[in-house]
Amino acid sequence: MRSLYVLELPDGRSNIVYIFSRGRRVIQIRRSAIVRHSCTRMFDLVNDVEAYPRRFNWCADAKVLALETEALIARLDLRLGAMTQSFTTRNILETPHRIAMQLVEGPFRALHGAWTFTALGDAGCKIALALDFDYSGLMGPVLRAGFQKLADRMVDEFCREADRAYA
């Protein structure tokens, strides 16, 4: 049985948890927000991967590599400081409530998570991101810090984009 130590560092609106397992650190990000947009609109915004470079300055490029009825495989090229880092995920789509992400390829030891969209009557919805990741390789500590900062602010950026797009 492996030992697991959790150090929780909440910052008010976000919850970042560091899990230490066998000497390695896996970062868990939990963010959520209430928006005045429907689950369908928020799901469509997050799922429109190829629009990310036009909408967000942290995304250098995005491509849908394969599209299935209830899944897609997408590659993102992220700007992390002066570096660009690419990775590919398989996203399982449960329209309009959930997008589950699993790493296919990239510089991570681990990456998985989900976007969820919970209806709040006619008033809007709750959007949430749960993301667990750890980088591998020599640049791991530098890339881990950059990706953590980006992931921690993604919910806010999607909410701002929804307000702009659906105003």
Averaged confidence pLDDT in the chain:
84
pLDDT of residue 136: 78
Mean pLDDT of all residues in 7-35 = 62
User: What share of the chain has pLDDT > 70, as a percent?
Assistant: 80
pLDDT given at position 19:
45
- Mean pLDDT for 32-51 is 96
**Rounded-to-integer distance, Cα 151 and Cα 167, Å:** 25
Q: Tell me how far apart the alpha carbons of residues 85 and 65 are, in angstroms, rounded to a whole number.
A: 17
In terms of phi and psi (left: phi > 0; alpha: psi -120 to 50; beta: otherwise), the region of 106 is: left
Query: With bands split at pLDDT 50, 70 and 90, how would you rate the model's confidence at 103?
Result: very high
Beta pairing partners, 132:
28, 112
Closest CA to 28 of 124, 107, 130, 125: 130
Q: State the pLDDT at residue 133.
A: 85
pLDDT of residue 99: 98
CB–CB of 55/43 below 8 Å?
A: no
Question: Given phi > 0 = left and psi -120 to 50 = alpha, else beta, which region is 124?
Answer: left
Residue 138 pLDDT exceeds 90: no
Instruction: Find the mean pLDDT for residues 84-106.
Output: 96
Query: Has residue 14 got a pLDDT over 80?
Result: no
- In the predicted model, what is the mean pLDDT of residues 113-124? 94
Q: 137: phi > 0 → left, psi -120 to 50 → alpha, else beta; which? A: left
Q: Given this model, what pLDDT does residue 142 score?
A: 65
Structure tokens at 105: 């390829």
Its pTM stands at 0.82
Residue 33: band (very low, low, confident or very high) from pLDDT cuts 50, 70, 90 = very high
Closest listed residue to residue 42, CA positions, set 157, 150, 135: 157
